[in-house]
Amino acid sequence: MDTNEFRTAAKAAIDEIADYHDNVSSKRVVSDVQPGYLRRLLPSSAPLDPEPFDAIRADIQDKIMPGITHWSSPGFMAFFPCSSSYPSAIAEMYSNAFSGAHFNWICSPAVTELETIVLDWIAQALGLPECYTSSGSTHGGGVLHGSASEAILTVMVGARDKYIAAKTAHLPDGEDKEEEVWRLRSKLVALGSAGAHSSTKKAAQVLGVRFATVPIYEEDGLAMKGESLAKTLDELAAKGLEPFYLTTTMGTTDVCAVDDFAGIASVLQGRIAAGKTELFVHVDAAYAGSALLLPENQHIAAPLVHFHSFNFNPHKWMLTTFDCSATFVRSRADLITALSIKPPYLRNQFSDNELVTDYRDWQIPLGRRFRSLKLWFVLRSYGISGLQAHIRNGVAMGEKLEERLRRRRDLFTVFTASRFGLVSLRVAGKDEDEVNARTEKVYEAVNAGGSFYLTSTVVNGKFAIRVCLGVPTVREEHVQGVFEALVKEAERVCGDLPN
């Protein structure tokens, strides 16, 4: 493909992409193809000779599109949104044009420097404590990873090495110290609440450390409390184990609960005052972190000054194309000490003299994409005020659905009230078994209809339907539509209930 052919094909593709977004609401949300559908449509081997680009483009519509679940549809109310925007899509085009691994400053100075600047902008916009900015008092700063799961694994590596270094600092280098390091490694425990995302358990599995959960209770809004954490820590210590890391959550996956940050900070400060080794605390705010753009939510971030890292995904609720996960640390040394490597082929005068940031030392992979360009385009195209309006729309739509559900107490109970655009509900029944069975039937029937895609959860044995309303195109008519679909199926399932 030469330059002229590229211009023609790219312009045609942009027109098709724009048409797709204009018409996505008319499509069935979830693909209904059967497993293995695509292999039957494609040749058994790659073509020997070049094919015309028009034929390739035609196959997008005929073969690929039937197997796409439309995350940008206003009927997509599952999981959490994976949003995008035209400014972000355009930035991706530039990023692709500037293709490179960008692992250190010299590879492309603009890539590193824009990332530092834009993440400082975001830290300020979210109301994060100044320790999370690149010029903050604790030498912290931000870095872009691919996902919240990657962020958790990365900071857990730093937490492990920091904890072991603190516990063995009194020992001279040598065999005795090495033996103590390996003894400690066998006792390490990473923690998260029972509502924490599975990525914490997976990171512990990858690192070969134990994982323990802190219990949560409905009367606490399914948030982790300081008292429960203290009890769990004491139980682990009584077994001779070494808790070193904790994931706290702003917006749990199940129900968008917010852990008791102030209570947790108080418990951990008390332990430090008693001479115990500091626990590394990470805040997973993958979805709900974007809600800190609203001034009325920024009080949530105040206790984070006592913690060590914070992560949220602009690719979820901040109109930025996947993948883009922003991680902030109060001390960059926590990552660099654990992750820095300096083979001869990566050395240069700027890095060797520590004049620049090399983000390869803040992540597990060596290579990295020019992700900050997307954030720069989005922040400039929408402004903070435009992003706040977008977040407020999701919040308002969640509240409207909750209002409707509460008017039909004969059919529904609100399991957890609307928070950050997420509502969870259950269908009425005479006992827990019937409620679970009916709720699951309604959930499956609504999804089978194809107009909406919802996801479910099970909390303490209770089956609930989650409805997340953060997709940018969701409006009140879509809220009314999903409510009517829920009512229709609930009335069918609960037909034996008295009026």
pLDDT digits (tens, 9 = 90+) for 291-309: 999 999 999 999 999 999 9
pLDDT at site 42 = 95
The residue to which tokens 């590193």 are assigned: 112
pLDDT at site 113 = 94
Distance CA 57, CA 155 (A): 41
Rounded mean pLDDT, 365-391: 95
Distance CA 198, CA 252 (A): 11
Distance CA 424, CA 417 (A): 7
DSSP state of 300: G
Instruction: Return the higher-pLDDT residue of 310 and 358.
Output: 310
Pairing of strands 462-468, 422-427: antiparallel
What does residue 90 show for φ and ψ, rounded to 5 degrees? Answer: -65, -40
What percentage of residues in the chain have a pLDDT greater than 90? 89
The residue to which tokens 């606490």 are assigned: 220
DSSP state of 386: H
Encoded tokens for 18: 């724009």
Chain centroid to CA 110: how far?
26
Single out the residue of 365, 265, 380 nearest to residue 323, CA to CA.
365
What percentage of residues in the chain have a pLDDT greater than 70? 99
For the cut 90, the answer to whether the pLDDT of residue 334 exceeds it is: yes
The residue to which tokens 């960059």 are assigned: 332
Distance CA 444, CA 440 (A): 6
Q: Which helix (H) or strand (E) covers residue 456, if one does?
A: strand 455-459
pLDDT at site 342 = 81
pLDDT at site 499 = 43
Rounded mean pLDDT, 234-242: 95
pLDDT at site 480 = 97
Residues 6+ apart with CB under 8 A from 90: 377
- The Cβ-side half-sphere exposure at 475, using a 13 Å CA radius, reads 3
**Residues forming a β-bridge with 204:** none
Single out the residue of 306, 364, 341, 338 nearest to residue 158, CA to CA.
338
Encoded tokens for 158: 């730093």
Distance CA 80, CA 71 (A): 9
Structure confidence at residue 258 as a pLDDT band (50, 70, 90): very high
pLDDT at site 496 = 54
pLDDT at site 352 = 67
Distance CA 111, CA 98 (A): 10
Low-confidence winner among 105-109, 219-223, 328-332, 410-414 (lowest mean pLDDT): 105-109
Rounded mean pLDDT, 471-498: 90
For the cut 50, the answer to whether the pLDDT of residue 88 exceeds it is: yes
pLDDT at site 497 = 45
pLDDT at site 398 = 97
Q: Are 306 and 269 in contact (CB under 8 A)?
A: yes
